[in-house]
Chain A
Amino acid sequence: MTQTAVFLTAVRRRIRPSRTLPFLVVGLLLALLLLFFVLPVIWLLLTPSKTAGEVVRDNPLSFGSFHQIGTAWRHLFAFQDGAMTRWLRNSAVYSGGSLILTLAVSVPAGYALALTNFRGRKTLLVITLVTMIMPQATLVLPIFLELNRFHLIGTIWSVILPFSFYPFGVYLVYIYFGSSLPRDLLSAARIDGCTEWQLFSRIALPLAKPVVGLVAFFSFVGNWNNFFLPYLVLPNSEQFPVQVGLNQLLTSTPSFNPVAGAGLNVTIPELALAILIAILPVLVLFVFSQRTLVSGMLAGASKE
């Protein structure tokens, strides 16, 4: 084919009439998915504005009143003398504490794996990769027994320490330093008399901001949403994080548990409000870091 012929074929393809059908299919696919993803969220946002009766009687997608949101709020925070406040505070302590520990150990470790040489480096890297693809929940029971042996069950360390172990974070940092920090830069600084610690803290660390943000985000969200481990190691409602607290709220809701829930003020609107409050920190982080997250993840993944 000559250039012109190729061009003409291309033009003909562009204007052929069958384009409307794929367009409809594509539109339908996107619209159905949109409905599937967004409808529950809209329902969730509207429900705290209604009374339990209105939730059942009224149109599911109607708005009740602002006054009712206040009532639901009061009911929710009055539940077991402000258990909701305690749970939120606990979640913040667990996720925040383990976040600090995670960053403090993962960033230097990833740096060392990528840019220094020491005996056992390769072994450490392989074990990290294996633990990364290991189903973590299968280790929750042995971790429980281990913590039990060291008398840590019921303490905040029984949550914070296991949360701080984050091989995926180490791996992200390792890939990042391995692909984007020029080794010449470090050699030059070394010749200028920098110590190894100065190399890390003055040169590598300032350059690692994107990946530190990425690790912090994944670790925080993962820990905030974790249910299984705190559910096992924290026997006392006073210590629950909000995810385990939500479970307790569910078992206290009349619509799901007529016996235990009788006489309590926690109904569907209160539960919906509790869900919204529980996810708020994560949602805010999501909204603010969407762009950085994706570019960071892809930058970390491809190291051509």
Chain B
Amino acid sequence: MTLLETEPVAVSPVRRGTTPRRTGRGRAGYFFVAGYALLLLAFGVFPTGYAFYLALTNDRGQFTGLNQFVKVVQDYRFAPAFTHMLIYLVMWLVTLVVLVVLTAVVLRSRVRPGTSALFRFLYYIPGALAGVASVLVWLFMLDPDVSPVSWLLTAMGLKTFAAVLAPGNLPLILMLIAFWTGAGGWMVVMYGALNNIPDDVLEAARMDGAGPWRTAWHIQIPMIRQWIVYMTIMAFATGTQLFVEPQLLQTASLGRVSPTWSPNQLAYVYAFQQGDFNGAAAISVVLLAVGLLAAGLLVARSNLFKLDEK
């Protein structure tokens, strides 16, 4: 079953039938969720509403309709920021899904269990280096002066650090960093999901004459599809949030990379350099809409596929 399944776990129907809804149990329920509900209101519901309110008003609190959106969309930095994000997202999601699923299948079916456990662990280690730490490590990996693979960089015609950090290379660099820190964890998760497929299913496929690759394509991958969708949603959500990575690369490139490379950076500049919180909120709302729309589509589509099968 999927992690995003909305079907609630039903309360025992017998109890529900014999007692009215608000009994002692009901009040206990309120007590148990009170703290969480408060935080949900304060840091989930309210900020979302506040972002919408700010995006629809000006700095004096007057309702201005969609003016803020028109303003930020027409900003000359808006289109590049969203284009950068889009290019990065496509590269990152394709690489992540293809390599993670492929590696998990290989580790599950073509490598001895002990060796596979070792590989999974080694791939998993960089996961501890998130955020600033991972960017710093990659700044060094990409600096031909200190990198252990400087021969590779030189062979690719990148002789100086500045050449590596050329603005056009940024999506690729960010993809490398994201893959380095995130992919190992997903490989472990996918491997676990593959492990949950009953042996007799795989045995039956073998009996029918399917080789390892056909088994993977027709049986294993379809059976872990829910996990692949879940990974894609999560990776998409993190991808739309790019802030610290381009921000640090901008610092390190001594200003050659734009300080408004990603939408979140643009929102940051709006809020803290231009003092325009309404414009910043409008960008946040656009990002939120993009993220929710994509996640919603993926969830709906993956469920649709499931219905088609039956």
The 8 A CB mask of B144-163 against A (1 = contact, 0 = none) is 01111110000000000000
A167 and B40: CB pair below 8 A?
Answer: yes
The contact of B4 among A133, A170, A177, A290, by CB within 8 Å, is A133
Chain B's closest residue to A171 (CB) is B3
Contact A106 to B36, CB < 8 A, known contacts A135-B287, A137-B264 = yes
Interface positions, chain A 255-295, Cβ under 8 Å from B, are 255-257, 268, 271-272, 275, 278-279, 282-283, 286, 290, 294-295
Indicate whether B22 reaches chain A with its CB closer than 8 angstroms.
yes
> Which A residues lie within 8 Å of B29 (CB)?
112, 116-118, 121
- Number of B interface residues, CB 8 Å? 117
In Å, the complex CA distance between A286 and B121 comes to 10
Interface positions, chain A 83-142, Cβ under 8 Å from B, are 104-106, 108-109, 111-119, 121-122, 124-139, 141-142
B3 and A301: CB pair below 8 A?
Answer: yes
Indicate whether A254 reaches chain B with its CB closer than 8 angstroms.
no
Indicate whether B65 reaches chain A with its CB closer than 8 angstroms.
no
Contact A145 to B251, CB < 8 A, known contacts A105-B35, A117-B26, A135-B288 = no
In Å, the complex CA distance between A244 and B133 comes to 10
A279 and B43: CB pair below 8 A?
Answer: no
Secondary structure at the B interface, as helix, strand, loop or mixed, is helix
- Number of A interface residues, CB 8 Å? 115
In Å, the complex CA distance between A22 and B212 comes to 10
Indicate whether A41 reaches chain B with its CB closer than 8 angstroms.
yes
Chain B's closest residue to A170 (CB) is B36
> Which A residues lie within 8 Å of B11 (CB)?
115-117, 183
Please tell me which stretch of A29-37, A72-80, A208-216 contacts chain B, meaning at least 4 of its Cβ atoms lie within 8 angstroms of it.
Answer: A29-37
B124 and A60: CB pair below 8 A?
Answer: no
Indicate whether A153 reaches chain B with its CB closer than 8 angstroms.
no
A131 and B44: CB pair below 8 A?
Answer: yes
A131 and B277: CB pair below 8 A?
Answer: no
Indicate whether A63 reaches chain B with its CB closer than 8 angstroms.
no
The 8 A CB mask of B21-41 against A (1 = contact, 0 = none) is 110111111111101111110
In Å, the complex CA distance between A107 and B201 comes to 37
The contact of A227 among B37, B131, B140, by CB within 8 Å, is B131
Indicate whether A238 reaches chain B with its CB closer than 8 angstroms.
no
Contact A134 to B131, CB < 8 A, known contacts A38-B122, A146-B50 = no
A33 and B103: CB pair below 8 A?
Answer: yes
Known: A165-B39, A250-B251. 15 other contacts (CB 8 A): A56-B146, A112-B31, A112-B33, A113-B8, A116-B25, A127-B40, A133-B4, A135-B291, A138-B287, A141-B284, A146-B47, A174-B9, A279-B129, A282-B128, A300-B3
- 9 inter-chain pairs at a CB distance below 8 angstroms, sorted by A residue, are A33-B103, A114-B9, A116-B11, A145-B277, A177-B9, A251-B251, A279-B133, A301-B1, A301-B2
